[in-house]
Amino acid sequence: PRAKHCSSCNNCVEEFDHHCPWVGTCIGRRNYLYFLIFVCSVTLLSGYVLIVSMVRLGIESVKYRNSHNNGFTAFIESMTRNPGIGVLVGFLLLILWSLIGLSGYHIYLTSVAATTNEMMKNLVRQRRAHDRGCLGNWVNKCFSAIPQSMLPPMYELCMRTGAFGDDEGDSLRAGSPPFDADTDGVVELRTAGIGRRDMV
State the catalytic residue, choosing from 6, 9, 12, 20: 20
- How many angstroms separate the CA atoms of 11 and 28, rounded? 11
The CB density around residue 180, as the number of other CB atoms within 10 Å, is: 11
Concerning whether 12 is annotated as a catalytic residue, the answer is: no
Helix (H, G, I), strand (E, B) or coil at 177: coil
Active site residues: 20
